Amino acid sequence: MQFENSREFARDLDKQDKLAKYRDEFIFPKVKGKDVIYFVGNSLGLQPKRARKYVDEVMKDWAELGVEGHFHAEKAWWDYHERFSEKLSKIVGAQPSEVTVMNTLTVNLHLLMVSFYRPTENRYKIICEEKAFPSDQYMISSQVRFHGYDPSEAIVEIKKREGEQNFRTEDILAKIEEVGEECALVLIGGVNYYTGQVFDMEKVTKKGHEVGAFVGWDLAHAAGNIELKLSEWNVDFAAWCSYKYMNSGPGNASGCFINKRYHNKKDIPRFEGWWGHNKARRFLMEPEFQPEPSANAWQVSNAPILALAPYLASLEMFDEVGMPALVEKRNKIVAYLEFILHEIDKEVESTFEIITPANQRERATQLSVFLHGEGKELFKYLMDNGVITDWREPNVIRLAPAPFYCSFEDMYEFGQILKKGILKH
């Protein structure tokens, strides 16, 4: 398609957009009385209007039923988390039994490491990406120290080549091959939080297994954003937060994937709790743990129903639309945003460098833009004029036009505000 940098063209794209109606399903913050242009769905998605209904249902059941809500609420609390499995399995490419919802992301990664980081004298190294999200760095480092190893020796970071902004798949595969039999685990973010690069999870998983390692993925920036095929790719485990592209609310519950080949195993190392016990026998209060025959065996505590309610509301929309439609719009709106950036770049003296891969297969919703010659004053100008984005040092802004609620006219309007901001400064 031949794009045009005009409001009329952008509005025509919105008229053709099959997902345009979902914009009205979300609540937008306002700046100067107008809905903002919201580019930070990669940090916290907007609130779905229907979330309040789901939360109110729980509050009403709590008020009217008290403890009996566990069994007699319309959406009974004792198995509330089971309502997520089928919907989430479609989003991450898994079987329903391989998916569960519990805790928060880093907590779940720690719990999954109990099962999938089993270092030995000769096989103890973890491969991760250079400058991973800090939470992952802290988690991995603390796990290594917990097992008595020196992080400087046990953690192997895959690095970018000199002068390049993104990782090369061949370098990741080569590093896994190099570490070889010393590699216990490969654990990488499926989408790099800084650049928005999408990793080739299928190839990396295959190579990790070839050297005898477990392979897991932090899908914080991937779930609800890209097409995933965790079962087909034979991934061992994965975890993701729900508050970014899945719009569940700040700091909300995490989803987990555990490959079915690890189900029904009593001898697998795992931190166990009541909610992972055989559901049919849970209230018999037996002393010996009997795992649920699914990913739910990794459940530990009674599910946080009030937190899960808005997540379930959001998943209802994902189920209505489906990932293929979201990916189709995502590709188109990101391409239009890229076009707008290049057009504005021609009109001003500043130079924009988009450090997200240009190849559509290697990127998703996010474009990270290096604003050469510009300072944080431009970021402040954007925020003051209703463009909600985020700033990463040294001077990168991340733009994530979530397909559920961002419009093509937003992309055009952003370009105009950006141009004014640059010329002003």
Checking if the pLDDT of 343 tops 90, the result is yes
Angstrom distance (rounded) from CA 58 to CA 156: 46
Label residues 210-244 b or e (16+ Cβ within 10 Å = b): ebebbbbbbbbbbbbbbebebbebebbbbbbbbbb
418: Cβ–Cβ under 8 A, 6 or more apart, which residues? 341, 344, 378, 382, 387
**74-83, 217-226, 386-395 — which is least confidently predicted?**
386-395
User: 53-321: what CATH class?
Assistant: alpha beta
Angstrom distance (rounded) from CA 269 to CA 94: 22
Q: What's the confidence (pLDDT) of residue 351?
A: 76
Q: What's the confidence (pLDDT) of residue 425?
A: 67
CB 252 within 8 A of CB 238: no
**Residue position matching structure tokens 């001003």:** 348
Angstrom distance (rounded) from CA 144 to CA 160: 23
7-35+322-424 CATH fold: Aspartate Aminotransferase, domain 1 (3.90.1150)
Compare 375 and 61 and report the one with higher pLDDT.
61
String of DSSP letters for 221-287? TTTTTS---TTTTT-SEEEEESSSTT---TT--EEEEE-GGGTT-SSS-----GGGB-GGGGGG--S
Q: What's the confidence (pLDDT) of residue 1?
A: 83
Angstrom distance (rounded) from CA 91 to CA 248: 15
**Residue position matching structure tokens 């242009």:** 37
> Could you tell me the residue ranges of all domains in the chain?
7-35+322-424, 53-321
**Residue position matching structure tokens 């005009």:** 6
**DSSP annotation of 38:** E
Checking if the pLDDT of 85 tops 70, the result is yes
Helix (H) or strand (E) holding 329: helix 323-347
Nearest of 213, 256, 209, 261 to residue 237 by alpha carbon: 256
The pTM for the full model equals 0.96
Average pLDDT over residues 272-283: 92
Provide the 10 A C-beta neighbour count for residue 263. Answer: 19
What tens digit of pLDDT does each residue of 25-50 get? 999 999 999 999 999 999 999 999 99
Q: What's the confidence (pLDDT) of residue 131?
A: 87
Checking if the pLDDT of 189 tops 70, the result is yes
Helix (H) or strand (E) holding 387: strand 387-388
Average pLDDT, the chain: 96
